[in-house]
Amino acid sequence: MDALMIGTIIKILIILLIVSAIAGFGTYIERKVLAFMQRRLGPMHVGPFGLLQIAADGIKLFTKEDIIPQNANKFIFSLAPTITAATAFIAMAALPLFPTFTIPEALPLIGGAIVPSVIADINIGILFILGTMAAGLYGPLLAGMAQSNKWGILGSARTAVQFLSYEVVTGLSVLAPIMLVGSLSLIDFNDAQIGGIGSWLIWQQPVAFILFLIAGFAETNRTPFDLLEHEAEIISGYVTEYSGLRWGMFFIGEYTNMVTISIIAAVVFCGGYNDIGFVSGWLLFILKVVFFFFLMLWVRAAWPHVRPDQMMWLCWKVLMPLAVVNVVITGIIIML
């Protein structure tokens, strides 16, 4: 095995372990941030500052009774959560995290391994990620349809509606930056913005950035668009009948998707993991991702939900024309 192979395996382990841990930790952060924004303390009692709350929740999820409703389609019912969780991690395979680095020789066993910045640098990276994340919505869809519960069916109907609305906007909004960079690989996106803050694509493509963020919120079912499980309207939507670990898998998937969208936003629009001056790219990258993650929680604290019809109206009548105009203008400018 050569150095790159070992490095790739290390990278896979990093992503699987750290990102799933972050996904779990995300629930804690979310509760804390939401609490602070409402001037509450949030979880406080398990461990210092409630840090061990995730462990407590994990134990709770593992030991809860796993209920499958009598009339549900048992096979699809148990398949659905795995779709969400698996696709979320598959999408991570084409995602660059941190610059490529070599593990120092001094370490035993893995010394000298080259850890690449992305597991599989396929040259259509961003399309692959968006495609797999789109496939991830089959989780909620199937879950809602398999559980023979009217709230579940409503949840999956809304999944279909949401998917058919935002998918166009996501594609069209990243199209303009893709035209500028001339590649679909996220590595190329990163390399195109190597020259400091001024070269970030967000300055050339502000409209695309905002459109992408909005579509990203819809893609991850975050608050202005969390139609699928809107408690006030449809109990819990597609997760109404789920309990225990299966329910937990949906949430690992959702939080992983949040991390993914944050990373894409950071890499495509905000300069990726390039160093700025003496500040290391590692630190900047983490800061950017943390900021986008925080933004999702922040928005959840501040903004109300939209109705499904408002969501369709927004996507098809406002965002899509904007995205098309943006693409056309970008094209004209490139041609000139």
Partner 1 sequence: MAHIEEHKETQIAQTEKQNYVMLNLGKTPDYGMPAFIQVVKRSLSLELLKGLGVTFREMINGLFRGKMHTTKYPFEKLPIAPRYRAIHEMLRLLESGHYRCIGCGLCEKICISNCIAMETRYDENQRKEVSEYTINFGRCIFCGYCAEVCPELAIVHGGRYETAGEQRAGFSLFEDMLTPIDKLKEQKEFAGFGSVSPNADENIKKTPLAY
Partner 2 sequence: MFEQIAFYIFSVLTIGLFLVTVFSKNVLYAMTSLASGMVLIAGFFFLVGADFLGVVQLIVYVGAVMALYAFGMMFFNVTKDLKEKTTSNIWVMIVGVSVALLMTLMFGGVVNPEAIYASLPINSNMTNPQAVGMALFTKYLVPFEVAAIMLLIAMIGGIILAGKKMDTSLTNIEDEELQRKDVK
Measured distance between the N- and C-terminal CA atoms of the chain, rounded to whole angstroms: 49
**From partner 1, partner 2, none, interface partner of 37 (C-beta below 5 to 8 A by class):** partner 1
Stretch that binds partner 2, among 46-54, 138-146, 249-257, 321-329 (CB under 8 A): 138-146
Q: Is residue 124 part of the contact set for partner 2 (CB under 8 A)?
A: yes
The single residue among 141, 259, 284, 297 that binds partner 2, judged by CB under 8 A, is: 141
Determine which residue in the list 44, 46, 76, 235 makes contact with partner 2, applying CB under 8 A. 76
Instruction: Provide the minimum distance between the beta carbon of 42 and partner 1 in the complex, in angstroms, as a whole number.
Output: 8
Alpha-carbon gap, residue 299 to 158, rounded angstroms: 21
Query: What span, in angstroms and rounded, lies between the C-alpha atoms of 58 and 214?
Result: 31
* Residue 115 bridge partners (DSSP): 101
Cα distance between residue 173 and residue 168, in whole Å: 8
Q: How far is the CB of 306 from partner 1 (least distance, A)?
A: 12
Q: Which amino acid is at 144?
A: G
> In whole angstroms, how close is the CB of 115 to partner 1 at the nearest point?
36
**For the chain, what is the radius of gyration of the CA atoms?**
21
Which residue is listed with tokens 């941190």? 98
| Binding of partner 2 by 328 (CB under 8 A) | no
Contacts with partner 1, residue ranges (CB under 8 A): 33, 36-41, 44, 298-299, 301-303, 318
Integer Cα distance of 58 and 244 in angstroms: 9
Residue 153, contacted partner among partner 2, partner 1, none, CB below 5-8 A by kind:
partner 2
Site string for partner 2, 179-218 (x = CB under 8 A): ----xx----------------------------------
Between CA 289 and CA 112 the distance in angstroms is 28
State yes or no: residue 268 binds partner 2 (CB under 8 A).
no
- Contact between 190 and 267 under an 8 Å Cβ cutoff? The reply is yes
Q: How many residues bind partner 2 (CB under 8 A)?
A: 34
Please choose, out of 2-10, 108-116, 119-127, 276-284, the segment that lies near partner 2 by the rule CB under 8 A.
Answer: 119-127
Catalogue the long-range contacts made by 179-183 (C-beta closer than 8 Å, 24 or more residues apart).
179/327, 179/330, 179/331, 179/334, 180/204, 180/205, 180/330, 180/334, 183/123
- List interacting residues with partner 2 (CB under 8 A): 71-73, 75-76, 79, 122-124, 127-128, 130-132, 134-135, 137-138, 141-142, 145-146, 148, 153, 156-157, 160-161, 163-164, 167, 171, 183-184
